[in-house]
């Protein structure tokens, strides 16, 4: 029987690390760009010219979150001998959750420092690139890129057309399915046949029988006499042949 580590795809850990690294690079670039466009340079709108600091009701919780983010940094530091028990606090806390995954990927006992250092280098490099492009000496690069690669720029500006793709693949099929379920199931079967159909049938029968069930005794007697005559004619006339 194969062990969990031998049954795992050998490159799974590497692919996960590469994807996480790309996500970290994009996050670093985007957040520095966000800060530069929001707080650095000249205001680009009338509302931005009159912007002011929020009240303490907003800023104090943000200060708390900022302090806790620094605390989270120390909780996530790799295990270094000089740090003592401060290293890998978060890793030890979540170890029971990821124990099976680490065993499957064969990642148990790996305490390399280079992934942590590489993450910092990538964050600093891409954050510095964003600062140079939106607050430093490379501010002409975004406009030049948008002019040179209009299609790519428009695709990114339109959020990779995810909304349009979702509309075509999910929203429209669901809407069409819901429409026909309503037309066939609700409007035709339930309302048309079961509910309104029963009412219309009762209404038709009531209109048909109202001519004979009208409370007129003489008409009742006439109908009974006619029925008796038909019965006698059927029994005596046809039966006597």
Structure pTM? 0.57
Identify the H or E element spanning 28: helix 12-39
- The structural domains of the chain, with segments of one domain joined by +, span 4-157, 159-210, 216-241
**Is the pLDDT reported for residue 1 higher than 50?**
no
**Cβ proximity of 36 and 135 under 8 Å:** yes
The pLDDT of 115-124, averaged and rounded, is 86
Cβ(42)–Cβ(36) below 8 Å: no
pLDDT of residue 127: 95
Q: Is 188 helix (H, G, I), strand (E, B) or coil?
A: helix
Average pLDDT, the chain: 82
Q: To the nearest whole percent, how much of the chain has pLDDT over 90?
A: 29
Q: Which residues fall within 8 angstroms of residue 6, CB to CB, at 6 or more apart?
A: none
Q: pLDDT of 9-56, one tens digit each?
A: 777 778 888 888 899 899 999 999 999 988 887 887 888 888 888 899
Residue 86 clears pLDDT 60, i.e. is over it:
no
Tell me the C-alpha distance between 134 and 211, whole Å.
89
Q: How many angstroms separate the first and last alpha carbons of the chain?
A: 94
Answer yes or no: are the C-beta atoms of 91 and 85 closer than 8 Å: no
CA pair distance 150, 141, nearest whole angstrom: 14
pLDDT digits (tens, 9 = 90+) for 174-188: 999 999 999 988 888
- Is it the case that residue 170 has pLDDT exceeding 90? yes
Q: What is the pLDDT of residue 68?
A: 92
Q: Which residues contact 24 (CB under 8 A, 6 or more apart)?
A: 119, 122, 123
């Amino acid at each position: 029987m194969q062990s969990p580590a031998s049954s795992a795809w050998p490159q799974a850990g590497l692919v996960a690390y590469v994807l996480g690294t790309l996500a970290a690079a994009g996050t670093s670039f985007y957040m520095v760009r966000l800060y530069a466009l929001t707080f650095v340079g000249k205001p680009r709108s009338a509302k931005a010219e009159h912007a002011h600091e929020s009240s303490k009701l907003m800023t104090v919780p943000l200060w708390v979150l900022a302090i806790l983010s620094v605390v989270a940094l120390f909780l996530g530091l790799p295990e270094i001998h000089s740090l003592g028990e401060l290293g890998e606090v978060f890793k030890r806390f979540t170890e029971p959750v990821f124990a099976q995954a680490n065993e499957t990927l064969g990642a148990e006992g790996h305490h390399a420092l280079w992934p942590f250092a590489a993450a910092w280098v990538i964050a600093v490099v891409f954050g510095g690139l964003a600062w140079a492009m939106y607050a430093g000496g490379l501010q002409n690069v975004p406009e030049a890129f948008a002019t040179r690669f209009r299609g790519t720029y428009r695709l990114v500006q339109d959020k990779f057309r995810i909304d349009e793709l979702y509309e075509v693949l999910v929203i429209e099929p669901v809407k069409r399915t819901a429409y026909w379920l309503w037309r066939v199931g609700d409007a035709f079967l339930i309302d048309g046949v079961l509910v309104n159909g029963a009412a219309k049938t009762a209404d038709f029968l009531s209109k048909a029988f109202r001519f004979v069930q009208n409370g007129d005794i003489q008409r009742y007697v006439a109908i009974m006499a006619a029925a008796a005559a038909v019965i006698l004619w059927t029994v005596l006339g046809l039966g006597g042949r």
